[in-house]
Amino acid sequence: MSILPALKHKRNVEVIVLAADLAGTFIFAIQGAEAAIRGELDLLGVMVVSFAAALGGGVIRDLLIGATPPNAIRDWRYPALSFAAGLLTFIFHASLHGLDSPLLVALDAAGLSLFAVAGVEKATLFGIGPFVAALMGTITGVGGGVIRDILMARVPAVLQVDIYASAAFVGAVVVLVLRRAGLPSTAAAFAGGVACFALRMVAVSRGWHLPKASGW
C-alpha cells in the first residue's frame, strides 16, 4: 500500500523527464541546424550538428550517471525528432530570418530550462546526491551547445555568455530545494524550469554580467 505513492511519484518523474527532454531536443536541434547553416555546412553537416546539439547534453549526462545505453540511443524518438527538426530547419530556414531575435533568445532559454529540469530529475532518479545532481542538470542544459561549438571549431559560447550555465544550475537547485520541502515532483519541476527561464531572460534584457578576473 505504502509503495503505491512512491511508484506514482517515480512514474511522474519519468514522464517529466521524457516530456522535457523531447521538447528541449526539438528546440536545440533547430538551433544546432541554424548554426550549421550559418557555417555553410551541407545537408549532412546540418543533420549531424543538429543531432549533436540536441542530444549531446543528455548523452553526456546518461553516460556519467551510468544510464547506458543513453535514452538518445535506446529510444528512437530522440534521434528521429532531432533529424526531423534539422531537416525542417534546412528547408524553411529562410522563413526563420523573419523571426525576431527576442523570440530566439526565449526559445533558447526554454530549451535550457527543459534540459536543466530533465537532467536534475533523471540524476536524482539514479540515486545521485543533490550537489552533483544539480551539476548534471547544468551539463544536460549546456552540453549540447558545447559539442555544437566544438564541432564548429569555436570556443563554446557558454564559456563566454553571461548567466547561462548559472541559470541552469539555479533552476536545478530550485527543483531540489522544493522537492526537499515536500512539494509534488511536477510542481517542483515546473517551478525550477520557470526560475531558470526567468533568470536567463532577465539577465539578457538587463545585460547582467558575471565578473572577470582583473589585472590580466
Binding site for a second copy (CB under 8 A): 36-46, 48-49, 59, 63-66, 68-70, 73-74, 76, 79-80, 90, 93-94, 97, 126, 128-129, 131-132, 135-136, 146, 150-156, 158-160, 162-166, 209-216
Q: Are 189 and 121 in contact (CB under 8 A)?
A: yes
Cα 31 to Cα 52, 93, 173, distances in angstroms = 11, 11, 26
Please state the φ and ψ torsions of residue 183, each to the nearest 5 degrees: -70, 150
Question: Which residue, 5 or 207, is less far from a second copy as judged by CB?
Answer: 207
Q: Rounded to the nearest whole angstrom, what is the least distance from the CB of residue 23 to a second copy in the complex?
A: 21
Amino acid symbol at 137: G
Q: Rounded to the nearest whole angstrom, what is the least distance from the CB of residue 25 to a second copy in the complex?
A: 14
Question: Which residue, 92 or 187, is less far from a second copy as judged by CB?
Answer: 92
Dmax over CA atoms of the chain, in Å, equals 63
Question: Which residue, 165 or 175, is less far from a second copy as judged by CB?
Answer: 165
Spatial neighbors of 70 by CB under 8 A, at least 6 apart, are 55, 58, 59, 61, 62, 63
Please state the φ and ψ torsions of residue 189, each to the nearest 5 degrees: -60, -45
Q: Rounded to the nearest whole angstrom, what is the least distance from the CB of residue 67 to a second copy in the complex?
A: 9
Q: Rounded to the nearest whole angstrom, what is the least distance from the CB of residue 192 to a second copy in the complex?
A: 19
Spatial neighbors of 126 by CB under 8 A, at least 6 apart, are 65, 66, 67
Q: Rounded to the nearest whole angstrom, what is the least distance from the CB of residue 58 to a second copy in the complex?
A: 12
Question: Which residue, 34 or 197, is less far from a second copy as judged by CB?
Answer: 34
Question: Which residue, 12 or 156, is less far from a second copy as judged by CB?
Answer: 156
